[in-house]
Structure 1
Amino acid sequence: MVVITHIVGGLGNQMFQYAVGRSLSVSTGQTLKLDLASMKKYTRREFSLQQFNIHADLARPHETPVTRSRGFLRRAFQLIQRQSPCQHIIEKAHTFDPTVMSLGGSLYFDGYWQSEKYFASIANTIRSDFSLAAPLSSGREAILSHIRTTNAVSVHVRRGDYVTNPSANATHGTIEPGWYEAAMQRMAERTDDPSFFVFSDDPAWAQQNLKSSWKMTFVEPQQDGRDGEDMHLMAACRNHITANSTFSWWGAWLNANPAKHVIAPLHWFRSPLHDDKDLIPATWERV
């Protein structure tokens, strides 16, 4: 008996995929395993959950369902073995599916599962699993010290493939400077003497376009494969302004302080084909 979750995408997506599997593994008392076959072919991101204290094994090829996306050799191997141990659960929509939580037996999760409703019942466990497996780098430790001396607000500016990839741009779109100005103004009305810490995959754009009379610190991204540390720097801030990005979603969610204030975009997706009603926690403000 096992719960297997299909891992693909960037760090934020990997975390959602892990979290739904972890939730079902806890509720059913089964082992959690990760299927990384798609990550071997995914060129835009690398598997990154090893940065955290996760509790999961790696799935073996014969344990995963036979699907067209697996490749000819893998399908042939599975067919020869005549094994199909798991019920294949394919995500039907971006909205929360409550029937998932009552499933039993061996399960294979295939989707993005972007809602805390899948794992809210074990929130403390998920936050513990996503604690860092190694100490912060010295540069990030210095930033953390700065964050702790201020009334810090994390601000995330996601551009990257949202700009360069036509498909990602059509689905998500980018957040304009005017929105960040309005969000920072609203945060300043709720926060005494805020200090904004700006995290971005395009720091030059952020510095050029985010102008403010408030105190601002632009955190330079590091190309060291330790972006989970940047997420934890976000989580160390008292309040948060997220982009339409799962990376900053987790940066805000990992902050366990119930008094935190989080501002998220009113429209997470540019495409009307995606319903985001279950993606943003009810306690967050949407602007």
Structure 2
Amino acid sequence: MNFGGRTGNKICQYMSLSLLRKVFGVRVSMLSSMQKPLEHLFIKLDLPGENPKCFPRYTKQLNFSVLYRKLVAESHELVLPDAQPTHYPLNESVYVSDYPCPPDILFPLRDQFRQELVFKKELTDKARQKIAEGIKALGIYTNKNITKVTVHVRRTDYIEHIKSRYQLTPLDKLYFQRAFDFFRKKVPYPVFLVTSDDPKWCKENLIDKDVAFVGSSMEVDLTLLSLGDHHIITYGTFSFVSSFLGRGIIVYPYNENKWPFFSCTDSKIFQLQPIPRD
């Protein structure tokens, strides 16, 4: 599996690789270049790591969607937890060369990945401390009845990226207000805990009597975002994986025929809630 990209990409790539093993029973390994940064985040990784230099250069390269369709076609049946595949579906080694993050086929395994990718205790402790400080700053001294909704706001580098690649403008205050109001009507005592690469914009546009900025380092933010009862995300794999490794409903920006788009948006199982961004 390609090891490029930032933290969100690497976690998505790891999960995509793990998915191939879980579903099709194929042997997989990750390069040490992907293994090492993930080991700083999680207690343990179930996938083996290797560093064969020939993989990217000489092994057949496929993108994930092509390989996935090939495995579906080659496998007579999907692998169940206690079953074995009817035959081994690959007759050659493959190097996955792109940056897969397929939400629709990852979501059925959400609970499994939550158990597999557990953040290290020191990160969890720091994240819980930031959450407690944020709640206290709002004048709330007990979280007994609070519904914690974590919010990730990605701006800076993504403003130009989504403009050039997807012809989208940055998410503005309207999207977040709609997302906040969705939870204010749905759950008791929601508190919105915001992290972002643009703290200034968040503090000027989002802070309210039930909204606190709790941003910290990348590792702590990633952990903190996964600890919410529910989640509001923006664009990018960092937003997605942090909410995916959490629990509850994931609110995401919806714009018809524009990225990002999740299939099965009406699924009660997947707990995805689109909110219009414009």
User: What's 2:189 paired with?
Assistant: 193
Within-5 A mapping of 1:16-165: 16-26=12-22, 27-34=24-31, 36=33, 48-50=37-39, 51-52=41-42, 53-54=44-45, 55-62=47-54, 64-66=55-57, 84=58, 86-91=59-64, 98-101=69-72, 102=75, 103-105=89-91, 106-120=93-107, 122-136=109-123, 139-145=126-132, 149=143, 150-163=146-159
Is the contact between residue 25 and residue 32 of structure 1 (CA under 8 Å) also seen in structure 2? no
Q: Hey, what's the Cα distance between the residues in 2 that align with 1:169 and 1:198?
A: 24
Unaligned runs of 5+ in 2: 76-88, 136-141
Q: Hey, what's the Cα distance between the residues in 1 that align with 2:196 and 2:256?
A: 17
The residue type paired with residue 58 of structure 1 is: E
SS, match of residue 31 in structure 2: strand
User: What's 1:218 paired with?
Assistant: 213
Q: Deviations over 1:16-72 (max 9, x none)?
A: 111111122343252412274xx8xxxxxxx7322222233133212x143xxxxxx
* Alpha carbons of structure 1 residues 162 and 276: separation in structure 2 relative to 1, 3 Å: same
Q: Hey, what's the Cα distance between the residues in 1 that align with 2:18 and 2:31?
A: 10
Q: Hey, what's the Cα distance between the residues in 1 that align with 2:107 and 2:236?
A: 20
Q: Percent identity?
A: 20
Is the contact between residue 161 and residue 169 of structure 1 (CA under 8 Å) also seen in structure 2? no
* Alpha carbons of structure 1 residues 176 and 255: separation in structure 2 relative to 1, 3 Å: same
* Alpha carbons of structure 1 residues 281 and 123: separation in structure 2 relative to 1, 3 Å: farther
Give, in angstroms, the shift of residue 135 of structure 1.
2.1
TM-score relative to the length of structure 2:
0.73
Which deviates more from structure 2 when the two are superposed, residues 170-179 or residues 122-131? 122-131
- Residue 170 of structure 1 pairs with residue 161 of structure 2: no
* Alpha carbons of structure 1 residues 19 and 281: separation in structure 2 relative to 1, 3 Å: farther
SS, match of residue 244 in structure 1: coil
Residue of structure 1 aligned with 2:241, choices 220, 235, 250: 250
Is the contact between residue 154 and residue 196 of structure 1 (CA under 8 Å) also seen in structure 2? yes
User: What's 2:255 paired with?
Assistant: 267
Q: Hey, what's the Cα distance between the residues in 2 that align with 1:281 and 1:221?
A: 34
Q: Hey, what's the Cα distance between the residues in 1 that align with 2:121 and 2:253?
A: 32
Is the contact between residue 148 and residue 190 of structure 2 (CA under 8 Å) also seen in structure 1? yes
Q: Hey, what's the Cα distance between the residues in 1 that align with 2:110 and 2:50?
A: 23
The residue type paired with residue 286 of structure 1 is: P
- Residue 276 of structure 1 pairs with residue 261 of structure 2: yes
CA RMSD across the alignment: 3.2
TM-score relative to the length of structure 1:
0.71
Which deviates more from structure 2 when the two are superposed, residues 110-119 or residues 196-205? 110-119
User: What's 1:239 paired with?
Assistant: 230
Give, in angstroms, the shift of residue 221 of structure 1.
2.4
User: What's 1:229 paired with?
Assistant: 220
Residue of structure 2 aligned with 1:204, choices 200, 203, 218: 200
SS, match of residue 221 in structure 1: coil
The residue type paired with residue 224 of structure 2 is: L
Q: How many residues align?
A: 241
Q: Hey, what's the Cα distance between the residues in 1 that align with 2:153 and 2:4?
A: 22
Which deviates more from structure 2 when the two are superposed, residues 141-150 or residues 111-120? 141-150
Q: Hey, what's the Cα distance between the residues in 1 that align with 2:107 and 2:151?
A: 24
